[in-house]
Chains A and B, each alone.
Chain A
Amino acid sequence: MTQKYRLDKGGLVKRDKEISFKFNGKKYFGYKGDTLASALLANGVHLVGRSFKYHRPRGFIGAGVDEPNAKVQLYSGAKTEPNAVATEVELVEGLVAKSQNCFPSVSFDFGEINNFLSKIFPAGFYYKTFMWPKNFWYKIYEPIIRKAAGLGVAPLKPDPDRYEHKFEYCDILVVGSGPSGLASALAAAKNGARVILAEDKPRFGGSLLTDEVTIGNKKGKDWADESIEKLKTMPNVIVKKRSQVFGYYDHNMMVMFERTKDHLENPTQYIPRQRLWYIRAKEVIASTGSIERPLVFGNNDRPGIMLASAAKEYLKVYGVLVGKKPIIFTNNDSAYETAIEFKKNGIDPLVVDVRKNIESSVIREAKNLNIKIKFSHAIANTKGHLRVKSAMIGKLNEKKSNFESLEEVSCDCVCVSGNWTPTVHLSSQSGNKLKFDETINAFIPNQSRQNENTIGSATGSFTLKKSLEEGFNKGFELSNKITKKNIKSDIPISNERINEEHDKLWCMPLPKNKNYKRCVDFQNDVYVSDIELAIREGFRSIEHVKRYTTLGMATDQGKTSNLNGLQLVSNIEKKIVPEVGHTTFRPPYTPVTIGAIVGREVGKDYRPTRKSPMHAWHEKNNAVFVDAGLWLRPRYYKQGKENLYEASKREAANVRSNVGLCDVTSLGKIDIKGSDSAEFLNRVYTNAWMKLPIGKARYGVMLREDGMIFDDGTTTRISENHFHMTTTTAQAVNVLAHLEHYLQVVWPELDVNVLSTTEQWAGAALAGPNSRNLLEKIFPEIDASNEALPFMGYKEADLYGVPARIFRISFSGELAYEINVESGYGVFMWEKIIELGKEMGIEPYGTEALSTLRIEMGHVAGSEIDGRTIPSDLSLDGMLSKKKDFIGKRSLSREGFVETGREKIVGVVPIDKKTMIPEGSHLVEDSNAKLPNPKLGHISASCWSVEYNNPFSLAILKDGKNKIGEKLYALSPLKNKSIQVEIVSSHYVDPKGERVRS
């Protein structure tokens, strides 16, 4: 019979739906409704992993998000998931999981030798030991440590699943569906507020699922079920289970992680695996409950030792006994409920209570059930290698500082309770400065600076009556601020056991001459002795102790260990806990998959793709595309077996000798209108604009206020108060924001409006000595002569009924025209030009040929306008007006900008006329100089000059203009190249600029 520890009845699992799964290669069975943890426990499996540092055998401690030990690797291949928490993994048919951090197997682990060598692995061991020699770190220490101390293994293949993001707004977000959460959601919803209720677990109800209480004469769980049903019918309410609100961000932005797929037996194709919700809530009610703290005693980390509340949850929710010979070890009343549940199911527990003989309703109930209780007793140590098999129990002396006697009691599980810690992560993240509550020995929320409201046991009030009152009152009060409907709900009468105070003893003394390991942080393997050592070595701040010992720094974020660690530090330092302070709570509260964070922004959806209207034509004509910002532009048009260099050379040569056509749609275009437009351009650009005639274009350079070149382009005067500005593809967005800033903030008195028209115009550059002949064919009715349409001229024309703009501007340095039509006519224009140019041998050219043409002409582009160059660096001094002020002008007279010897633009040709110089190469005097070899400049752009048929580069070179004719070396350590070069003028082709004016 499998599932030996499953009760015949009881719990919320579906016993008629058996599910098979694999753990560490072995097949087991569980039921629908199980978690991986409950199903393993039903099969008597406690051993689930090895501790992080010493590889000590470890079992389940909790039943939820607090679980520090049961981290497993799920599935394999692309779907594999590391560090899954077995207590949160819902069981589905065919689930495959395995333990992490063990080699070769969880029951026989080589790393366990660390446990026997633990004297040489104390806190701070890595910091102290692996400091020297330096080389050893990369080659020896780090790889070994990584292998031995790893968590799970990340998948190496792309994630096949789909993840989504969702944005939502609400009046009130309620986090947690326990009694206080349900009460506040009911009250707020009834009062007309838009409510979202989020529950992390697969079942609503929180503590009502496991506590023997009544609300309104109903069993707690029934009241919870009815409340949820009621909420679900209300149109102003969203209820979500399997949804963890893990982060509280600014202005009440809450982020929630919803698990939508993994628990489904047959998910449909398009269901996302997980969904990340961004919820902007007017008010947040954190009814996040509390987490039980472990007691600390000798070898308290053996498999089979777990929280009493977890044992109760396995029993009441999953119908699973975590053992058949339980010891309940406690310093408070709540663990008695676990004892009573065992007893009711025919199991005899032994209760070990550190308190003196104490009376309360739950203890009386236990006594009436004949449960054996040892007051003033504690566990000093446990035995059992892969599972606890006995406990050394002793009577505590009066001061609880030692044991008076010790006896060994056999057991198969120990259920511990060290009282409760309110779950205050959301409060803390919201900017709430927590305060320490001495009655419960834990931090509770204080005053928040956001609209955060914590209620229920998360505030440290552990009674049902108070939780319900707080819930209903807060729900009404907050909703009424928003809806003002004044609809109040009645608070139902409740019934529960009343608990007595807990005892402050939580860390058990060591028997004389014994040095048992007492674990504080289970996941990161931090023991009492480590924290003591850290303090002996002088660490005082809790933040330093935390980092030195790694206390609370594991993926469980110290949910079960932080407070015990704090108490220990304050005990040793003889301070009270609030003086020691607490470490910062940071999101996410529980681990979130990278997939959920990324959402749909993967692959081509990572960012938008912008395509020109002619994109399909380029595709049809074998264009190979390149990313230019968000744009996809043809890099070259492949013919036959051509590679990039062959194709771009062919295309560029055809422009130089004949005529080519380039898609320039991606250039930024800004429409500028208003009576002060010319004045505005005069301030924005470095050159003069007031006298630009209508129908003329002008090249302009704009600076930032710090004097660096910001962008360049041509701007055309369409009419008196109407200009058409072009920008580079890369800076289009920034230039618009820049212009808007000056118009709205700096010079609001100017009558100017700017608007991006980049996407309104399709652009084609017609370039080459034959471009005029072709233009005349395209627009037979216009006079395209050099006199009628000179360089920098502009004409509006008719392209077979389509209005077109013709600009005589040139980036290639050849006679050239840019033709713009409205985007919708882009393909028509393009095809018409290709059709009419066919007999002339027109060829489209891509960005690679475009680069070649501009580089050998010495025209600057983004690789020279890199945010570090001023106009004179790029030989643009002639563009600077002396008669007027402009943005950035004052900076140009600053010391550093006028000094001689600044880096200037030059041309560079390899001496062998063969070797291409890698972009980014450094220019140096002596290729064999001692490192660091003094750098004189760098290569900004390289091409194969089609004019001279040899490589040519542009460079920014210190005192460049005076170095023309000199021989230097271009070094590229990345490409392992050292090339002797000659410095020449940057204007390699047509230095007088005759062609563009021809």
Chain B
Amino acid sequence: MPEQPRIERTHADRIQSERPMIEIRSVTRSYGAFRALDDASLTIREGEFFSLLGPSGCGKTTLLRMIAGFDNPTSGSIAVGGQSMEGIPANRRPTNMVFQSYAIFPHLNVEQNVAYGLKRLKLRGGEEKRRVEEALAQVSLTGLGKRLATELSGGQRQRVALARALVMRPKVLLLDEPLSALDKKLREQMQVELRRLQQAVGITFVLVTHDQYEALAMSDRIAVMFGGKIAQVASPKEIYQRPVNRQVADFLGGMNFVKAEIVEENGASLIVDTLGFGRIKTDKPKAFVRNGGGATLGIRPERLRVLWDNATAKFEVAGKVVERHYFGEITHLIVEIPGLEKPLSVTETNDFGADDIPVGTSIRLAYDPEALVAMAD
């Protein structure tokens, strides 16, 4: 697959370095016989917006709390900024946390909340006040300093929690599902703001989320977790386009799976035979384990395009529409392909009338063979 030019995130790239900020080495956290985290290893780089993504109960919070120091690994080690965190209590770690419930002190007003951690530092000559104002400005809360926590909206509380952590100028900011309590619109707005804020301050952000779109939209890199194990660590694009296994592929949106026979395996590529798509040459995934002579290929629904009228494409499959689902700007078509055991799911924008294709119509679909990726089962 050719390297595509990266035009987005140039700013982040400038701040980001290759230096490791958090090093997690074979960390396991057991509760009795149950392993909430199982031999997880991970390196998070300095200045990176990193997301831990996975379904409920996969151990994201457990890992985050161990980085913060609220919990300790049963085995393995965690280092932050090159320093081992073993035996260092939460209050002396160079990390700060934004809690899911925000944990705003109810007996203090906004200013006092933000200044909470600074009080101990005994800053001189109005420095404390200046930093509080600065932090409040960063999260657009200027002027609300005297409000009590009870007088704030959910979004505002979230900003207070952010300001309170940022004002400490931590090396790492940890965020445990910070947006999950907000409504959809506010959540999308905050995603943009959080990303912008992270680029402005250049602090390493570690975000926990179970929302794949949130992770894809905000992160430099994502670790996808299942059942206490880290399945894949890569950029959003890589994770979305080249998931290492079916589980990761499924978690990050729809994926059509196609069974294939391996014809040839060499170095970095695979040549496979499929029933619907014919013979395909594809990149071999890094951790590819050959499972007999079979392999699984996956193609995202939006990488299949409807061919209108007499249009032709170099690579196409023919089939019959069996279901149609309308979603406003897009339509989902379920298309039966002779030879494939499961019909393909196709996402098509509605600008050319995909929402008008009657069920039962025979259509042809164009695809790019590079969009078919091999993965472990």
Asked if A and B bind, the verdict is no
Residues of A within 8 A of B (CB): none
